[in-house]
Structure 1
Amino acid sequence: MSKPRIIRYALIAFLLLTSISFAETREIKLHKVIKKDTLWDISRKELKDPFLWPAIWKENRWITNPHWIYPGQTIKIPIYLLQKEKPKEEAAPKPAEVSEEPVQEEVKKEPVPVPIKKQPLVSMNTLMASGYIADSIPGVGTISDSAAGQRIFGNDDVVYVTVDHPAKVGDKFYVIEASEEVEHPITGKDIGYVITICGIAEIVKAKKSETVAKITKCFREININDALVPYYDVKLPMTTGHFRSPGINGMVIATGNNFKASMLDIIYIDKGCKDGIEAGDIFKTLAVDTHAVQNGVIQVISCRDHTATAIIKSSNMPISPGNIFTRMDKN
């Protein structure tokens, strides 16, 4: 074989290896938008987490408004965000060593208990964006404006904020959104407000004339006039994979989309930690009319004193405020 041909083949092989290496580190999938597509739905389908939709928006900066995408458009999906499990290599057994020493009597050892490995119950994105019910609307300031004239914000966007007390560079706040006041579906009693955590903002400029912050983390879309509350550490609930279903009955009092919810949506119930609820607890939900019909299975992901936040694990019809929850049937 001639020397030029060998060099040409070597160059082709190098380019192929380089492209394969790049693809492994940053996989992108092209998605052609169809009718009724939203970034939320695409993120749920492709990335298995609807709250990662800001990552898709960031990958496609030509989309000026994430609420408006149109059939026929092609967008890039950053599927490299999916965690890939790498199988552990099994160590090859070592050959038995032949011992010339006299055989000693075997000493029986007590089995050492294997520690149970715990894993997060949900992702931090899901936990933060799911929110909670509060008696009142907290807040020490608001997002007031942006230099670019935007009204919707995501990761790394810069905003002007108004705060009740002087802030300094480095101060962090949660950006929150509050619902209308929630009433109990049966008693009509005021329960509070659904507070959803939209993201984290950090002060980058603090002067008497203006205070500027940068969105360092976005869990869901952030809007003008969203409120600010002081930052605090949040710990993920951990689980061994074994879940309770205690004999506690209660009612769905609100849903994340304000009316009806289905699988992977968020709902809020009228029982909490002081009522015996724990993160990880599983219940079935029932729609009660002429008959009580099971319409889903929910799992608690966080709880406060007398309310809790849950995610819908499965449903065969929408789950609505007024549906009841109860323990799973015994097998």
Structure 2
Amino acid sequence: MLRYIITPLVLACLALPAAADDVQLQPDRPERYVVVKGDTLWAISGKFLKDPWKWPRVWNMNRAEIKNPHLIYPGDVVVLDTSSGEPQLRLLRETVTLQPGIREEPLDREAVPSISPSTIAPFLSRPLIVEADSLKESPTIIAGPQNRVAYAPGNKVYIDKLPEDQGNVWHIYRPGKIMVDPETKEPLGLEALYLGDLKVLKFGDPATGEITRAKEEIFSDDRLVKVEDKLQFNYIPHAPESDIKGRIMAIYGGVAEAGANTIISINKGKLDGLEEGHVLSINRAGTYVSRKPTEKKAEEKFKLPEFRFKDVDPNEEKNKKPQAKTDEKYDPKKDPANDKSLVKLPDERIGLLMVFRTFDRVSYGLIMQAAEPVNLLDTVNTP
């Protein structure tokens, strides 16, 4: 006999600061939805809510439950309940009664993730943001097959300083580009370049390993980093509690402009209050325009001042570049922000991103929605 029981997904009251009337429902929302394999929490919440990141509000989640959410599985039924006057989502879950007091629920199902695992999985363990010198202390490949310069899958290699208490599966990295804050020009960390995977065959001094995967050629002096034991997919989409403002630093996937399902990095991280599951709006900065349509266009009227160069000695090398004078000072009268004849158009929201991996000063996010192409240096902030 099949028996259905209705249980709230969570019991505690919402701890996020927001009024219930801030939650707007989709006009064509269903009364109930059966979760299927391949669903994500973002997609499910989007069927009921105009703003999917407000999902915790209609589940009455507190902060602890956002960090450690109850799981939803394919076959579960999500029900919208408005009987209290405020929208609430509840879970209708199928169980099988074996005997009084004992029920059986399927355990071989995978819980519904927040966003697509296939899209973000490579970025959950790579790339890696590290301090500039931290890779110097990592286990190092010191040699490989005789007469080989580059190593490939199946090659045996030897590793120095490999601890025996951190498992036998490792990622291989090489120092990559320095991540620089586009606003302050301050270095935020080193983005290490992922090269492949290695399996330890024998511990010792040196240890022996075998390369099991190579994304690029691997050389001596490349470094090893421990593989995470478990990838986290079960965070809940939600808005930050603080006012976050940042910029997009990089777009991944070999594209100049980004759209939905593209991974980007931003210049904010754990130290700024960001955590996995935070949703940020993506904005295009407003431009300055003339208050009078008949005036010359602002972008033509307010150009950067031309530099004055020092005189060049004709006897100097021809290829030597002239040096710009440093006496060109900031002129507030030439700043369009101080020109009363100009007005700055509002910043326009063009999309949403969800943070899925955070480091101290850098985070990675997945663009969930994009009404226009997303560019480098577009701003992000708390929605």
TM-score by length of structure 1 reads 0.51
SS in 2 for 1:238: coil
Aligned partner letter, 2:376:
P
Aligned pairs for 1:52-67 within 5 A: none
Q: Determine the C-alpha separation between the residues in 2 that align with 1:281 and 1:126.
A: 19
Alignment match, 1:141: 140
Greater length-normalized contact order (CA 8 Å, ≥ 6 residues apart): 2
Say which of 242, 263, 286 aligns to 2:283.
Answer: 286
Instruction: Give yes or no for contact 1:140–1:230 (8 Å, CA) kept in 2.
Output: no
The percent of aligned pairs where both chains have the same amino acid is 17
The alignment status of 1:268 with 2:269, answered yes or no, reads no
Q: Give the superposed CA RMSD.
A: 4.3
Q: Determine the C-alpha separation between the residues in 2 that align with 1:254 and 1:180.
A: 11
Alignment match, 1:221: 215
The alignment status of 1:306 with 2:361, answered yes or no, reads yes
Q: Determine the C-alpha separation between the residues in 2 that align with 1:171 and 1:203.
A: 5
Alignment match, 1:297: 352
Q: Determine the C-alpha separation between the residues in 2 that align with 1:306 and 1:210.
A: 34
Aligned partner letter, 2:226:
P
Alignment match, 1:321: 376
Give the C-alpha shift of residue 223 in structure 1.
3.1
Give the C-alpha shift of residue 133 in structure 1.
2.6
Aligned pairs for 1:108-147 within 5 A: 119-122=112-115, 123=117, 125-136=121-132, 138=135, 139-142=138-141
- Structure 1, unmatched stretches of 5+, are 1-46, 49-83, 94-116
Q: Determine the C-alpha separation between the residues in 1 that align with 2:151 and 2:253.
A: 19
Instruction: Give yes or no for contact 1:185–1:321 (8 Å, CA) kept in 2.
Output: no
Deviation string, structure 1 residues 249-275 (Cα, Å, up to 9, x no partner): 111223335764333222221222232
Say which of 236, 244, 251 aligns to 2:239.
Answer: 244
Q: Determine the C-alpha separation between the residues in 2 that align with 1:118 and 1:208.
A: 43
**In structure 2, do the counterparts of structure 1 residues 142 and 209 end up closer, same or farther at CA, with 3 Å as the change threshold?**
closer
Instruction: Give yes or no for contact 1:130–1:256 (8 Å, CA) kept in 2.
Output: no
**In structure 2, do the counterparts of structure 1 residues 160 and 179 end up closer, same or farther at CA, with 3 Å as the change threshold?**
same
Q: Determine the C-alpha separation between the residues in 2 that align with 1:158 and 1:90.
A: 48
Instruction: Give yes or no for contact 2:143–2:159 (8 Å, CA) kept in 1.
Output: no
Give the C-alpha shift of residue 301 in structure 1.
0.4
Instruction: Give yes or no for contact 2:259–2:370 (8 Å, CA) kept in 1.
Output: yes
SS in 1 for 2:356: strand
Give the C-alpha shift of residue 90 in structure 1.
6.5
Q: Determine the C-alpha separation between the residues in 2 that align with 1:161 and 1:319.
A: 43
Q: Determine the C-alpha separation between the residues in 1 that align with 2:143 and 2:285.
A: 44
Instruction: Give yes or no for contact 1:119–1:239 (8 Å, CA) kept in 2.
Output: no
Q: Determine the C-alpha separation between the residues in 2 that align with 1:120 and 1:293.
A: 30
Alignment match, 2:154: 158
- Structure 2, unmatched stretches of 5+, are 1-37, 40-72, 78-92, 98-109, 288-344
Instruction: Give yes or no for contact 1:133–1:194 (8 Å, CA) kept in 2.
Output: yes
Deviation string, structure 1 residues 264-296 (Cα, Å, up to 9, x no partner): 222221222232212111111123262534333
TM-score by length of structure 2 reads 0.45
